[in-house]
Amino acid sequence: MGFEQKTAKKISRREILKYGFNVGFGACLGGTLGLNACGKSSHRPIKNVILIVLDTVRADTLGCYGNKLGITPIIDAVASEGIRFEQAISSSSWTIPALGSILTGTWPTIHGAFHMGNYMSPLRPEIPTAAEVFKENGFQTFGLANCLNASSVVHFHRGFDIFDDRTTMHELSRRADETIDTSLKWIKKHQKKSNFVLIHIFDPHLYYDPLPGYITKFTQGRDKPAPPLTKAQCLAMRTDHGKNPPLKDDVDYIKGLHYGEINFVDTCLARLINELTKLDLYDQTALVITSDHGEEFWDHNKFEHGHTTYDELIRVPLILKLPRTFPVVNKVVKAQVRNIDIMPTLFNLTKIKKPASFTGQSLLPFIMGQNESDLIAFSERLHLGYSEKLCWRTGDYKYILERDPSSKNRFQLYNLRNDLLEQRNIFNIEREITEKLHQDLVKFYSKIISLANTMSKTRVKKLNHRQIEILKSLGYIK
């Protein structure tokens, strides 16, 4: 395919901060936009920024994205008074590369955070994080992370005054109630200051283990096999000796437990909002609710996440609640946006100059009715053990390229306007469109690979025995 991997002069953190990355495609990928291109508004600077990242929540789980089961009434209420982005696309289909992109505003190949077998590669040191930027601009910074893949092991703690993380998974992680309690304790203590708070909530991730009262809420009364439901138990429900998905009733049960976890998270968020309101902080706060990635329940004959770039894994919820006085024109933004655009938007809102390394762009022009154009979304970096798939998503089409030349399904093209579930691969029918998107993808990816080669080599950290066993149980290590 001719991906460029040229050796080039190494670039420094100072150069990255000042000049950023110019990888072509201009505004469509945000690579050359500075703060002045983000539009201006007369609103007062926002005092507090709270970013809530729900682990493993696909967009169509939320009521405000069309789900009719009543799983997320609180989040839906926030969306109704805020701004909802209809087509928000993650840079990857699993946590480390996706959350790394949210925190750095750039693509996984550039920020470097990844997981490789028994090792983890943290963020490149020359890539600044949002917490570092907020801290340099006078904000107090506090972060909570509830799993190994969102922890200080991959250097997501950088820039936080306090980073309270869990470097494990499953039952040793924190549930949403404790996470919100810890967040509120810190917010109350620092309520007179400007704060940036990251709240990562892990509950919806495997194992599916809703609390009593939430187990049968979305399972039509079924409670067997009893939770916690592991990945192995879910896969054991497959039919025809594992060749086909489970029966529909079994898939619905698995999803119902997952929904129970999300419903519990939703009730916990109610307490956060109520307390912020009592403290007279809610209307001074920019509140973002999003997810790092989704979850597949055999939509494409597979389970969990990290293995493909179909929309059940990379289309995520993105909701932004602003003070009531903020001039909002579009409460629902239909144009395609990306998770790399979250931090540039928050910088714009808080009057912070966006470092050039944050290649995403502010979404304020979309909110204020100044822009309705789709932003091209690029997604990459699957779990180790899966063939690498690169995804190029325009507003109308999605092109997926599998880098393994021997793959039987190497080239995929889907028309997102009339095939939302991505069931009909039309690359052989729409050859001209396929060729155009293929060339755009190859050109772009070649450039970021070349750019990554000018940066520091990603360091690796060996995981301990307990961490390795946990990742094996989730299928992250084969």
Q: Taking 80 as the threshold, does the pLDDT of residue 89 lie above it?
A: yes
Alpha helices in 226-300 (DSSP H): 231-236, 248-278
114: Cβ contacts below 8 Å, ≥ 6 apart: 96, 97, 108, 120, 121, 381, 458
Is residue 84 assigned to a domain?
yes
Q: Taking 60 as the threshold, does the pLDDT of residue 41 lie above it?
A: no
Range of lowest pLDDT (4-8, 93-97, 161-165, 189-193): 4-8
Joined tokens for residue 147: 């799993």
Residue among 276, 234, 217 at smallest CA distance from 72: 217
Residue type, 161: D
**What is the residue-averaged pLDDT of the chain?**
89
Joined tokens for residue 456: 């520091």
Range of lowest pLDDT (160-174, 312-326, 461-475): 461-475
Joined tokens for residue 211: 């609390």
Please give the residue that has the higher pLDDT: either 461 or 250: 250
| Burial zone of 60 (CB within 10 Å; 0-12 exposed, 13-18 middle, 19+ buried) | middle
User: Can you give the pLDDT at residue 47?
Assistant: 85
Counted residue by residue, the chain has a size of 478
Is residue 449 assigned to a domain?
no
The CA-CA-CA angle for residues 21, 26, 29, to 5°, reads 75
Is residue 463 assigned to a domain?
no
The rounded distance, in Å, linking the Cα atoms of 55 and 158 is 20
Cβ atoms 39, 188 nearer than 8 A: no
Cβ atoms 174, 150 nearer than 8 A: no
What b/e string do you get for 416-450 counting C-beta neighbours within 10 Å, with b at 16 or more?
Answer: beeeeebeeeebeebeebbeebbebbbebbbbbeb
Residue among 143, 108, 61, 94 at smallest CA distance from 292: 94
Residue among 413, 319, 302 at smallest CA distance from 83: 319
pTM score > 0.85 for this model?
A: yes
Range of lowest pLDDT (94-103, 159-168, 191-200, 217-226): 159-168
Is residue 443 assigned to a domain?
no
DSSP string of 117-168, one letter each residue: TTEEE---TTS--HHHHHHHTT-EEEEEE-SGGGSGGGTTTTT-SEEEE-SS
The rounded distance, in Å, linking the Cα atoms of 187 and 446 is 44
Is residue 285 assigned to a domain?
yes
CATH number at residue 140: 3.40.720.10
Residue 400: strand pairing partners = 391, 412
Query: Tell me: the pLDDT tens digits for 113-156?
Result: 997 767 788 999 999 999 999 999 999 999 999 998 999 999 99
Is residue 422 assigned to a domain?
no
What b/e string do you get for 179-218 counting C-beta neighbours within 10 Å, with b at 16 or more?
Answer: bbeebbebbeebeeebbbbbbbbbbbbbbbbbeeebbbbb
**Helix (H), strand (E) at residue 322:** none
Joined tokens for residue 149: 């893949």
User: Can you give the pLDDT at residue 178?
Assistant: 96
- In the block, residue with structure tokens 């994205």: 65
The percentage of residues in the chain with a pLDDT greater than 90, rounded to a whole number, is 78
Cβ atoms 423, 91 nearer than 8 A: no
What's the average model confidence in pLDDT over 236-248?
Answer: 96
Is residue 439 assigned to a domain?
no
User: Can you give the pLDDT at residue 28?
Assistant: 47
- In the block, residue with structure tokens 């989730």: 474
User: Can you give the pLDDT at residue 472?
Assistant: 65
User: Can you give the pLDDT at residue 123?
Assistant: 96
Distances (CA, A) of 193 to 187, 206, 261, 422: 9, 36, 33, 47
Counting the structural domains of the chain, the total is: 1
Cβ atoms 475, 304 nearer than 8 A: yes
Distance of CA 316 to the CA centre of its chain: 7
| Residue 33: band (very low, low, confident or very high) from pLDDT cuts 50, 70, 90 | very low
| Residue 34: band (very low, low, confident or very high) from pLDDT cuts 50, 70, 90 | very low
Over its C-alpha atoms, the chain yields an Rg (Å, rounded) of 21
Is residue 129 assigned to a domain?
yes
Distance of CA 269 to the CA centre of its chain: 19
**Helix (H), strand (E) at residue 438:** helix 431-452
Residue 110's domain comprises 37-375+468-473
Residue 337: strand pairing partners = 88
Query: Tell me: the pLDDT tens digits for 328-381?
Result: 999 999 999 999 999 999 999 999 999 999 999 999 999 999 999 999 999 997
